Structure 1
Amino acid sequence: MTAAVFNHEGPWSEEEYLALGETQQRVELFDGSLHVTPALTPRHQRISRRLGNILETASEAAGLELLEAVNVRLGPGRIPIPDLVLTNPIDLDELTIEATDVQLVCEIISPSNASTDKVLKMHYYAAAGIGWYLLVEQETGTLRLYRRQNGHYVEAADAKRGEVLELTEPVRATIRPEELVP
C-alpha cells in the first residue's frame, strides 16, 4: 500500500481509495485526501469491544446491525472508518455503507487525533444526516451523546465515571463509563 500512496499524484478518487483494499493502518478519504492513522492501542480496542458488547443486544432488539471499523460513504469523496456504527439492515458484502443507513456513529477519541473526531468528523457526520453521534474520551471514559438537530449536532447527554448514559434512541441501552475504560 505504501508504494501506491507515495506514487500517487493529485486528489484521490473513491475508486482509487477503494482499490487500496485492506491495510494495516486505518486509511480514510476526505475530499480527495487520505487520512492515515496508526494501529489502534490496546486501550482503544478494549473500549470498542466492550461498548460493542453493550450495544449488540440492543441493536439486534431494534432490528439494526452493529458493525466495527467499516467504510461509511458520507458523500462524494468522503469515506471515514468510524469505530462503531449502528445501521439499518444492509448488504453485508458491500465495500461501503451509505450514511443514509447509519443511525448512530461512535468514535473513541484518541489523544493524537482528538480534533479530527470532535470537529472534522462531527461536521461531516452531521452534514451527511446521521442522527446520533457518540464520543468516548479514551483517557477519562467520559461519554458524550449528540443528536442531529437543524443540520448539526447538539449534546443530548453525557456521563462521567460513576454516572450512567441511558440511550433511548436509536436503541435502548445503559452504558457505564467505568465498564469501558480501565
Structure 2
Amino acid sequence: MTAAVFGHNGPWTEEEYLALGETQQRVELFDGSLHVTPAPTPRHQRIQRNLGNLLETAARRVGLELLETVNVRLRPGRIPIPDLVVTAPIDFDEPMVEARDVRLVCEVISPSNAATDKVLKMHYYAASGIEWYLVVEQEDGTLHLYRRQGRHYREVSVTKPGDVLELTEPVRATIRPEDLVP
C-alpha cells in the first residue's frame, strides 16, 4: 500500500522520508519502513489539545517548549511523530527535533494503534534516552507515567478519573483525567 500511495519501492532513507513534505496522513519512519495512519479522531484531538494546554504553560515557566505532532529523530532512520513533546529550546526551522532535546514524550492511545504506542514506540523512546513517557487512554483519560530506567521504562504512576497526577519533572503540572476527555 505504501508503494502505491507514495510511488516508492524498497526501504526508505531519511532523506526520501523528509522529501515527502507535509501530508494529510501521519507518516512515521521506522528503520526503512513507513508507518502511515489517518488523522486522529476528534476525541483524540481534544484530549491531546487539553493536555497540551496544561503542559505548555508548565513548560514555558521553566524555559522549555511544548510541541504537537512533530518529527522526532530517535536515531538516523527512526522518526516517529508523537502527539506531544516537551523539549529543551530548539531551532524552530529544523525539520525535526532530536531525541536528546526531548524531556517528555506523550501519546494518546488510539484503539486501532495501541500496540504501536504501548510497545514499539515505548521501546524506541526509552532506547533513545527520552527520560519521561506519558500515555493517555482515550476512553476515560487514565494517565500512565513512565520513567526511563536504563534502556526501558518503569511505570511510576497510574492516574484514574477522580485522582490527580502531580507531575514534578520535567515540568510542574496538575493533571486530572476528567479534564482531558470530552
Q: What interval of TM-score do these two structures reach, taking the shorter chain for normalisation?
A: over 0.9
2:47 maps to 1:34: no
Match of 2:141 in 1: 141
Match of 2:16 in 1: 16
- Asked if 1 retains the 8 angstrom alpha-carbon contact of 2:70 and 2:82, the reply is yes
Task: For 1:21 and 1:168, locate their aligned partners in 2 and report how far apart those are by CA, in whole Å.
Answer: 36
Aligned-pair CA distance for 1:3: 7.4
2:48 maps to 1:58: no
* Structure 2 counterparts to residues 143-158 of structure 1, below 5 A: 143-158=143-158
Q: Secondary structure at the match of 2:153?
A: strand
Counterpart residue type for residue 131 of structure 1? E
RMSD (CA atoms) = 1.2
The unaligned stretches of length 5 or more in structure 2 are: none
Counterpart residue type for residue 152 of structure 2? H
Task: For 1:101 and 1:109, locate their aligned partners in 2 and report how far apart those are by CA, in whole Å.
Answer: 23
1:110/1:56 CA distance change after superposition, 3 Å: same
Aligned length: 181
* Structure 2 counterparts to residues 113-132 of structure 1, below 5 A: 113-132=113-132
Render the CA deviation track for 1:4-32: whole Å, top value 9, x for unaligned: 74421110000000000000000000010
2:97 maps to 1:97: yes
The unaligned stretches of length 5 or more in structure 1 are: none
Task: For 2:56 and 2:97, locate their aligned partners in 1 and report how far apart those are by CA, in whole Å.
Answer: 18
Aligned-pair CA distance for 1:76: 1.5
Match of 2:87 in 1: 87
Render the CA deviation track for 1:116-165: whole Å, top value 9, x for unaligned: 00000000000000000000001121100000012210011110100001
TM-score where L is the length of structure 1: 0.97
Match of 2:178 in 1: 178
Task: For 1:63 and 1:157, locate their aligned partners in 2 and report how far apart those are by CA, in whole Å.
Answer: 25
Render the CA deviation track for 1:29-84: whole Å, top value 9, x for unaligned: 00100000011111011001100111111000111000000000000210000000
TM-score where L is the length of structure 2: 0.97
- Asked if 1 retains the 8 angstrom alpha-carbon contact of 2:3 and 2:9, the reply is no
- Asked if 1 retains the 8 angstrom alpha-carbon contact of 2:146 and 2:156, the reply is yes
> Structure 1 vs Structure 2: percent identity of aligned residues?
79
